[in-house]
Amino acid sequence: MVDTVSLTSLLKNPDVAHTFSGADVPDDDLLHDCVHCGMCLPTCPTYRLTGQEASSPRGRLWLMKSVTEGRLDLLDPEFDEQMYQCLNCRACEAVCPSGVQYGPLVEASRAQLEQHRPRPLWQRAGRKVGMEWPFADIRRFRALVSTIRLYQRSGLASFARKTGILRVLRLETLEAMVPPIQEKPLVSGTESWTPQHAERTVHLFNGCIMSTVFAGTNRAAGRVLAHNGCSCDVPAGQQCCGALQIHSGMMDEARRLARINIDSFERFGTDPVIVTAAGCGAALKEYGHLLKDDPAYHDRAEAFSHRVKDVSEYLAANPVQPPRNAEPVTVTYQEPCHLAHAQRITEQPRDLLRKVPGLNLVEMRESSLCCGSAGIYNVIRREMADELGDRKAGNIIDTKAEQVVTANPGCAMQLRTSLKRNGSSMPVRHVVDVLDAAYGGEAAARSGTWAIDRERSSVS
Ligand code: SF4
Ligand code: SF4
C-alpha cells in the first residue's frame, strides 16, 4: 500500500503554477505503466536507506504523475529533492513486472527542472565550470587530466595534502577519488590493434574518463579484442557519450555530443562499437530515444545504438581464446548498475573471469546494489553516497577476496575511495585488465602475435 500520508502532505499548494512543458516532458503513457505493486521497493538503495515512500521508485513515479496532473507544482523543492536524490541506478526498472521505464522518466523530470527551475548563481556557475566546460570537448578534458597527472607525479600532490589546502578549497574528496594516472591518454585515431589473421573488425568507443584516467584499460581492451581475432581501432572525431549530461538534465548538450559520435562512427562503416564503461554503453544504446524528435538523426541513432556492445557482452558472444597465464587470486565482482540493470548484462563478465586459470571468483552480498557512484552523485550528494560506499566496502571486505573487479570507471573510483575509508587497500580492476594480464599484456602483444599500430592516423 502506498504511504499516501507522507506523499499527500507534499500536495500543499492547491494553486499549481508550473507543470511539465516544452521539450523532454516525461511520457504520460510510461508513467501510467506503474501498477503500484511495490516490487521495486526492496531493490531501491534510497528507499533502503531512508524507508520513506517518497524516496522509492513508486513514490517518485507518483510525484511525477502528480506534476503531470497538476496536483503538485513542478517547482516544489521536494520534487527537486526526490528527482536528484535518486541515483538513477535503474535497479527498479530491472525488477518491475510492468516494464516501467524509470530511467527515461527521471531523466526527463530532471530536464524539466533544469528548464524551469531558477538556480542560484553559484549552482549555475558550478555546472558551467564542473559539467559543461570540461566535457564539451574531449581535448579540453584531456588537457585537464594531463594537468592532474602532472600534479600527481610532480610531488605537488603530497605537498597539497600536507598543507591542508585541499580541505580549504573543498577539493579533498574529489582529489582522493582520482586514482594514480599511469598512462598517457589514448587519443582517438592514433592507435589500433590488428592480429595477423583478423576475423572481424570492431571500433572502440574511447570515452572521456576511460581515454584519460583509465587509458591503460582501453588499451588492454584493444589487446584482448585483437587476441580474440578482432581488428580494433579507435575512430577519430568521437566525443564524450553524454551520459553525465543526460543524468543532469542537460539534454541539448547530450544531443549535441550524440550527433557528433554518430557522425564519427558512421564514417567507419557498420561494425560493432565496443564500450569499456557501463555508463557510456547504457547512454550510447539509448541514443535512439535521446534523438527521437530529431528527424535527421533518429533512424541513424537507432542504427548506431544497435551496433553498441559492452566489451564483455561482445567477447562472451564469440569464441574466446583460453588465457594461458595463471592468475592465482581470489576476486569478487561488483556489478555496475548501468551494466546489470540498464543493459541487463550480469553473467558475461563473470563467465570471462572464470576462464582465467587459477582465478577464484567469490560472490559478495548485494553485488548489484549501487555503490553510490552514480555519475557525479558521489560528488554532489556525499552523505548518501558515502553510506552506500561504506556498505559496499563492508560487503567486499567480508568476502576476503584479494581484489575487486568491476566494469565502469565511476564504480572503480568509488570502490577505491570507499575501501580506503574502510581501511582496505584492495586493488580495483576492470574485467579486461584481468583478461589482458592473463593473455600476457602488452609484452605478449609486442612479441608478434599481432601488431600495434600507433601511427595509423594523427587526427584526434
Ligand atoms: S515494480 Fe514497477 S509497477 Fe510495481 S511499483 Fe515499482 S515501478 Fe510500479
Ligand atoms: S533508479 Fe535506483 S535510486 Fe532511483 S528510484 Fe530506481 S532503484 Fe531507486
pLDDT tens string, the chain, 460 residues long: the values are 445 446 666 665 556 678 899 999 999 999 999 999 999 999 999 999 999 999 999 999 999 999 999 999 999 999 999 999 999 999 999 999 999 999 999 999 999 999 999 888 988 888 888 888 999 999 999 999 999 999 998 888 888 888 888 777 777 777 888 888 989 999 999 999 999 889 999 999 999 999 999 999 999 999 999 999 999 999 999 999 999 999 999 999 999 999 999 999 999 999 999 999 999 999 999 999 999 999 999 999 999 999 999 999 999 999 999 999 999 999 999 999 999 999 999 999 999 999 999 999 999 999 999 999 978 888 788 899 999 999 999 999 999 999 999 999 999 999 999 999 999 999 999 999 999 999 999 887 776 555 555 544 333 2
Atom 6 in ligand 1: which residue has the minimum CA distance?
Answer: 40
Distance 107 CA to ligand 2 centre (A): 12
Show the ligand 1 pocket: residues with CB < 6 angstroms.
34-40, 57-58, 61, 92, 96, 98, 100
Atom 8 in ligand 2: which residue has the minimum CA distance?
Answer: 44
Atom 2 in ligand 2: which residue has the minimum CA distance?
Answer: 89
Separation CA 295–CA 281 (nearest Å): 23
- Which atom of ligand 1 approaches the CA of 37 most closely? 4
- Which atom of ligand 2 approaches the CA of 370 most closely? 2
Distance 34 CA to ligand 1 centre (A): 5
Summarised one tens digit per residue, pLDDT across range 379-392 is: 788 899 999 999 99
Distance 293 CA to ligand 1 centre (A): 27
Summarised one tens digit per residue, pLDDT across range 28-60 is: 999 999 999 999 999 999 999 999 999 999 999
**Cell representation of residue 307:** 551496433
What does the DSSP assignment read for 423-449?
A: T----EEEHHHHHHHHTTHHHHIIIII
Separation CA 54–CA 242 (nearest Å): 28
Ligand positioned closest to the Cα atom of 46: 2
385, 460 in Cβ contact below 8 A? Answer: no
Distance 240 CA to ligand 2 centre (A): 24
Ligand positioned closest to the Cα atom of 100: 1
**Cell representation of residue 359:** 582465478
Neighbours of 385 (CB within 10 A): 25
Residue 30 DSSP SS3: helix
Angstrom CA distances, 305 to 188, 208, 210, 276, stand at 20, 19, 19, 15
Distance 71 CA to ligand 2 centre (A): 23
pLDDT at 459: 32
Question: Phi/psi of residue 260, each to 5°?
Answer: -60, -45
Instruction: Tell me which of 30, 46, 61 to substitute to probe ligand 1's pocket, judged by most ligand atoms within 8 Å of the beta carbon.
Output: 61
Atom 3 in ligand 1: which residue has the minimum CA distance?
Answer: 34
Of the candidates 444, 359, 371, 378, the residue with the CA atom closest to the CA atom of residue 406:
371
422, 434 in Cβ contact below 8 A? Answer: no
Distance 460 CA to ligand 2 centre (A): 37
Of the candidates 441, 426, 373, the residue with the CA atom closest to the CA atom of residue 395:
426
- Which atom of ligand 1 approaches the CA of 98 most closely? 3
